[in-house]
Amino acid sequence: IHNLPLSRRRLLTALAAGTASLAMLRLMSNPARAAGRKNFSLRAAPGRARLVPEPHGETPAWCYNDAVPGPELRVRQGERLRVTVENALAEETTVHWHGLRVPNAMDGVPHLTQRPIGVGETFVYEFDAVDAGTFWYHPHQRSFEQVGRGLYGPLIIEEADPPRVDREVTWVLDDWRLTQSAEIGEDFGNRHDMSHGGRIGNTATINGRVPEEFAVRRGERVRLRLVNAANARIFGLDFQDHAPTVIALDGQPVTPHEPAGGLVVLGPAMRADLILDMTAEPGSRVQVIDRFYQDLEYRLIDLAYDDAPLRDSAPNWSVALPANPLPEPDPATVRRHEIVFNGGMMGDMVMREMGGSMGEGGSSGMMGMMHGDGIWFINGKAAEGHVLDPMLTLERDRSHVIAMTNATAWHHPIHLHGHSFRVISRNGAPTIHREWQDTVLMAPRERVEITFVADNPGDWMFHCHILEHQAGGMMGVIRVA
């Protein structure tokens, strides 16, 4: 550590002590310092992807650098990324760095934080890797179609001192609605998907391929970084006899724990870092099954054990992750805010449409407060077009609690840009793993409280990450000022 430049040494010390502030981190990684900056280029363009094995053809898709997913961008914590994005699509685009605490102007939200990148144009994003963890990037322009056609990729920020494992593996999960000839169904953004569970597909992929098997050895320890890049599908992964340990959610360390009911549940946009010890017998095959939806049990991939073990039993190395420099909210001075989600099929939309058919005045109560002809509502308002006006303004550098109620019949992964938040309670019961997340999956009728220090100034998107719900009005802007 003593050979490092002073700024980096101070940064690492502060990181270790958990006292580095966002401002401090930004100050120390000043753009002029060439060392520690990594340059990347992403080119968004139509291309082809081998999603499904032969004899099927390749699938026409939209790609970053000719691939689905796009390249894994990987830096060390404290480094600075400079990403040049070229738009070779036939429509405008942007790139959002999901879960990263970047300055507002680098957040990639069209019309809110930047002009969209026009056809043939280039835009340079530059920001510091403040938090270590598993993140991802994707367009924020017509995301339901651009992400749905394959524009996304993983972004990994390495800890200075990661836990010891034999192998580190990233699995970017997706779910596609493919035709018989392995082409992407063209029905993007239809009203049925929007008002129900979103665009649920028929083909799941890992890293852009329908997976066959994953070769492992008994005794091996793998750090598995999972990213759910699907528009709408929620994954609930069952590793059967293996007992994965969750060490991070949405990139942020949690108290290491086994997932409830043995299922690793990931809503769209969510990530989990798992420590997976390969404990089955040499030569065996173990299926990894997605069983989130009760009527749909899906064999995702097999763990295929080599005949020769690596070691006889799991290693007893520590699994703890170093903390990220997140400001701890202060419960004593917290400001409270309430947010209610409404709408969707079997919810208020049905009532409203029935109300409509019964003529003026047929809708009552809550319905009278809904504006616009959106499908989903946040505090009675459905977003239309580009959302610019804040629905909520949070005083900067203060602690806030947002109490959220899902008054719909559907799951919603709710995402806030520019911050990570602690999930402190679900239906009134305190959470127990010190969860820090940027996307929280809310079950139907569930009530969730989140808390965070609003230390990142700017206008930030707040939306459901089922991309059809977002397009159907389930988004707003939260201002930190």
The residues of the shown chain that bind ligand C2O, judged by CB under 6 A, are 96, 98, 138, 140, 269, 415, 417, 461, 463, 465
* CA distance linking residue 43 with residue 59, whole number of Å: 18
- Of the candidate spans 312-320, 365-373, 440-448, 466-474, the one that interacts with Cu ion by CB under 5 A turns out to be 466-474
Report, in Å, the least distance between residue 318 CB and ligand C2O.
Answer: 31
Query: Is residue 225 a contact residue for Cu ion (CB under 5 A)?
Result: no
Report, in Å, the least distance between residue 14 CB and ligand C2O.
Answer: 28
First to last CA, the chain: 37
* CA distance linking residue 337 with residue 403, whole number of Å: 6
* CA distance linking residue 368 with residue 407, whole number of Å: 16
Helix (H, G, I), strand (E, B) or coil at 465: coil
User: Angle at CA 420, nearest 5°, toward 149 and 458?
Assistant: 85
Report, in Å, the least distance between residue 437 CB and Cu ion.
Answer: 16
Report, in Å, the least distance between residue 13 CB and ligand C2O.
Answer: 32
The residue whose Cβ lies closest to ligand C2O is 98
Residue of 318, 330, 322, 287 lying closest to 305 (CA atoms): 287
Say which residues have a Cβ less than 8 Å from residue 112's Cβ, sequence separation at least 6.
386, 387, 388, 459, 461, 477
**Residue 12, phi then psi, degrees to nearest 5:** -65, -40
Report, in Å, the least distance between residue 343 CB and ligand C2O.
Answer: 19
* CA distance linking residue 257 with residue 247, whole number of Å: 7
Report, in Å, the least distance between residue 359 CB and Cu ion.
Answer: 30
Q: 270 contacts which partner out of Cu ion, ligand C2O, none, CB within 5 to 8 A by kind? A: none
Say which residues have a Cβ less than 8 Å from residue 303's Cβ, sequence separation at least 6.
213, 214, 216, 239, 242, 278, 280, 285, 286, 287, 288
* CA distance linking residue 374 with residue 469, whole number of Å: 10
Q: Which of 464, 467, 478, 480 binds Cu ion (CB under 5 A)?
A: 464
Q: 412 contacts which partner out of Cu ion, ligand C2O, none, CB within 5 to 8 A by kind? A: Cu ion
Query: Is residue 463 a contact residue for Cu ion (CB under 5 A)?
Result: no
Query: Is residue 173 a contact residue for Cu ion (CB under 5 A)?
Result: no
**Residue 156, phi then psi, degrees to nearest 5:** -110, 125
Query: Is residue 412 a contact residue for Cu ion (CB under 5 A)?
Result: yes
Long-range contacts of 180-185 (CB under 8 A, 24+ apart): 181/56, 181/57, 182/51, 182/52, 182/56, 182/57, 182/58, 182/59, 183/59, 183/60, 184/59, 184/60, 184/61, 184/148, 184/149
- Of the candidate spans 156-164, 241-249, 315-323, 457-465, the one that interacts with Cu ion by CB under 5 A turns out to be 457-465
Pick the closer one to ligand C2O by CB: 140 or 218: 140
User: Angle at CA 303, nearest 5°, toward 300 and 304?
Assistant: 130
Pick the closer one to Cu ion by CB: 130 or 450: 450
Report, in Å, the least distance between residue 337 CB and Cu ion.
Answer: 19
Q: 223 contacts which partner out of ligand C2O, Cu ion, none, CB within 5 to 8 A by kind? A: none
* CA distance linking residue 447 with residue 439, whole number of Å: 15
Report, in Å, the least distance between residue 345 CB and Cu ion.
Answer: 12
Q: 464 contacts which partner out of ligand C2O, Cu ion, none, CB within 5 to 8 A by kind? A: Cu ion
Residue of 259, 264, 258 lying closest to 234 (CA atoms): 264
Report, in Å, the least distance between residue 402 CB and Cu ion.
Answer: 16
Q: 469 contacts which partner out of ligand C2O, Cu ion, none, CB within 5 to 8 A by kind? A: Cu ion
Residue of 84, 114, 22 lying closest to 459 (CA atoms): 114
List strands edge to edge, sheet with 203-206: 203-206, 167-176, 221-228, 271-277, 245-249, 252-257
Pick the closer one to ligand C2O by CB: 146 or 363: 146
Pick the closer one to Cu ion by CB: 367 or 466: 466
Query: Is residue 89 a contact residue for Cu ion (CB under 5 A)?
Result: no
Cis omega (within 30 of 0) for bond into 331: no
Pick the closer one to ligand C2O by CB: 8 or 417: 417
Pick the closer one to ligand C2O by CB: 51 or 387: 387
Q: Which of 52, 200, 466, 471 binds Cu ion (CB under 5 A)?
A: 466
- The C-alpha R_g of the chain, in whole angstroms, comes to 22
Q: 466 contacts which partner out of Cu ion, ligand C2O, none, CB within 5 to 8 A by kind? A: Cu ion
Report, in Å, the least distance between residue 189 CB and ligand C2O.
Answer: 16
Pick the closer one to Cu ion by CB: 144 or 152: 144
Pick the closer one to ligand C2O by CB: 155 or 454: 155
Pick the closer one to Cu ion by CB: 156 or 441: 441
Query: Is residue 177 a contact residue for Cu ion (CB under 5 A)?
Result: no
Report, in Å, the least distance between residue 194 CB and ligand C2O.
Answer: 17
Residue of 82, 162, 72 lying closest to 124 (CA atoms): 82
Q: Which residues bind Cu ion (CB under 5 A)?
A: 412, 464, 466, 469
